[in-house]
Structure 1
Amino acid sequence: MAFKYCEEVCQNYNVDGIQLDFQRHYVYFKGPASGRDASDEERSQMTSLIRRIREMTEQVGLKRGRPILVSIRVPDSVGYCRAMGLDVERWLEEGLVDMMAVSCYFRLNPWEVSIALGHKYGVPVYPCLSETRINDAETQRLRASDEAYRGRAMAAWAAGADGIYVFNLSGATRDIFKQMGSPESMKTLDKVYTTGARGIRGANTWLTDGFRFLNRKVVSPENPLAMRPGKTSELTIDIGDDMQALEREGSLPEVQLRVRPVGEMDPARWSIHWEEEPLREGRRVEGWIEYSVDPRLVRRGANRLALTVASEGNEEAKLNDLVVWVRFPQSGSFLSP
C-alpha cells in the first residue's frame, strides 16, 4: 500500500520529488512495537520497499524526461534507525536516496554526525528544526522565539548543513523563514543558543532504551543537570557565529551566558569556565544567573564549559537550563534576555 501511494503520486502529478517521512511516526515492525530491536529480516523488508520506490521513480522520471528525487526524514542516529528497522546507511550506500533530513521529536547526536554520513555518499543533509515540546513556560517562550530559531539554524549551518528543514514551527515570526535560509542573512541578528531546543524524552517513547543512542548532554527542565557540591560538570554548547570574522568587520556582539539553577541562586557559589577561562562572578536576573563572556573566547562550533557549585552541605544542586545570548547593538531584538 505504501508503494502504491508513492506510485500514484509520481505517475499522476508533476512533482519534483517525494519524501518518505519516517518520523510520523516511528513504529514499523512487530519487534520494536514489542520492546525489541528490529530484526535483520525486518530491516531487509523495509530496504526492499525503498528499492522498489527508487526503481519506480527512476522509470517515471525517464519516461517524462525529468528526474523524481527521493528524500527521507529519519532520526539522526544510524544505530537508532537500525533498531527501528531502517537501514539508512545501506540506502545511502546503494544510491537509493537523493536528500536526507534528520531529527524531529528528539536529537541524539551533534549535527556533524549526520552531515558527515550523508556527505560520505554524496547526499545533501538538512537538519530539521521542530518546535519545542519541553513542558516549561519559560523554556517554551525562549525556544519559540526568532532568536532561538536563528541560533539553531546558525549552528546547523556552521556544522556543514546543506540547508534547513523546518517542521511545526510555531511562535516565531514569518521573517524567520527569510533569515534561516543563509548564514549571511542572520549574521548580525540576535541569537539564542541552547544545549537542546526540542527535548529528548521522545527517544524512549518510540524505542525501548532509546537513550542508549544519545551522544549529547542536554540541559533543560525535562532533563536537569544534577551537580554535586565541589564537583565540576562539563558541557558543550554549539555556537554558529564566527566571532573572528565579526571582529574584523567591526560587528563584534555582546555575549551573555545564562544559567537557571534550582535552589542555589547565590552567584558567589557558582564558578564557570568557558574554554578554560574563568568567567567573572555572575549577577541574578529574573530567576537566572547571568555572566558576561568575552566574545573572543567564543568558537564557531562546540564550546566547552566547566561548571562548579559550592552549595552548603552535601545536597545536590540542579541546573534547569543554560542558554547563550549573542546580541548585536543594531539588531533591534524585542525579546528580553
Structure 2
Amino acid sequence: MSDGQRAVTITEVAARAGVSISTASKALNRRGQLRNETRERVFAAADELGYQPNALARSLVQRRSYTVGLLSTESADRFNIPLHLGLENALGAGRVSVFLCDGRADPERERFYLESLLSRRVDGIVVTGVRTDARPPLADVPLPVPVVYAYSRSADPGDLSVLPDDEQGGRLAAEHLLAAGRRTFAHVTGPTEYAAVRDRLTGFRAALAEAGVALPDARVRCGPWREEFGRAATAELLAARPEVDAVFCGNDLLARGALDTLRESGRRVPEDVGVVGFDNWGVLAEGARPPLTSVDMDLQGLGELAARRLLSLIEGNRESGLVHHPCRLEVRASGGGPAVR
C-alpha cells in the first residue's frame, strides 16, 4: 500500500459481502460455524477491496502464526509439483502462508528443517514424498503442531497420511479394458518393493476376477520404471502369449515402451491390443502413438485434500490413519472401444 492509500477496514468488507462485522471476522479468521457460501462471499469481498488483515494482531489474539511448513522429499519431482500447487491453493484460500523446505530424502536435512520450522512457530506441517511406502515419522516424540503426510505414508498409525487410491486406479484400468471387450490381459509394472506396484496390481486383479477373467503370474512382468523395460517385457509377453489383447502398464513410461513393441510387432493399437498407462503424464500420454489412456492420481486434488485436513487438525479436530484420494481415468485412443475381431 502506498502512502496515499487508505487501509480497507473489516467494516467495509462486511458491507460489501452483505454480512455483519462479526460474521466477516469469523470468516476471515476461519472461526465459527459458517456456511461455505458465506465464507467464500466474505473472501471474495476482501479480495475485491484489497483488504489486508493485520497479521501480527491476528496472530496475537488467536495464538496462531498463520504459517505452515511444507517439508518435501524432492520439491522439483514431477509428482510433487502438482501436489504442492494443490496444497498452496487450499492454504492460500485460508490466508495461510507456506514455508517450503526441501529435505532431499536426507534425514539430517529433514531434522534441521523441522527444528527451523518449529522455531518459526508454524501452525502445522505437511510432509510430501514421491512414494506411498511407509516412512519413519518426523520425530520419535509427539510434536507441538499437527502433521499431515501427503503422497507419503507415516509408519506411525497415529499419524494422518493422505494417499492416492492405487487399488481403485488399478480397477479403473481393468474396467475400461473389459468394457472394450478385452479378455486376455497382461500387466507390465515397476519393482515389487513399491507399495504402489502391489496396490495397483491388487485392484486390477480384483476387477478382472469379478468379471470372471484371470491374470496369472506368467502374464505379469515387474522391473525398472523405464521405457526400455516396457519394450522388453511386452516383447516377452507377446512371444509367450501372442493372443494377449490388453496390456495395463504401471506407469506411462512403461506404456510408451509397450506401444513401441506392439507397433513393431505389427499389432494395431487399439484395434488388436488395448493399452492403459498410469500417472497421466501429459507430455508422454498426449504425445504417444496413439495417445495414451492413463490413470490420473489427481495430485493437485490430493494436495488440496491434505491441506484441508491439516487446517482441520489445526482447528482442534482429531484424525489419524490413512485417507485415500480417488484416481480418475483420462480416456484417449489407446484403450479402444469394443475390440475388433
Normalising by structure 2, what TM-score? 0.26
More strand by proportion, 1 or 2? 1
TM-score by length of 1: 0.26
Whose RCO is larger (CA < 8 A, sep 6+)?
2
- Greater fraction helix: 2
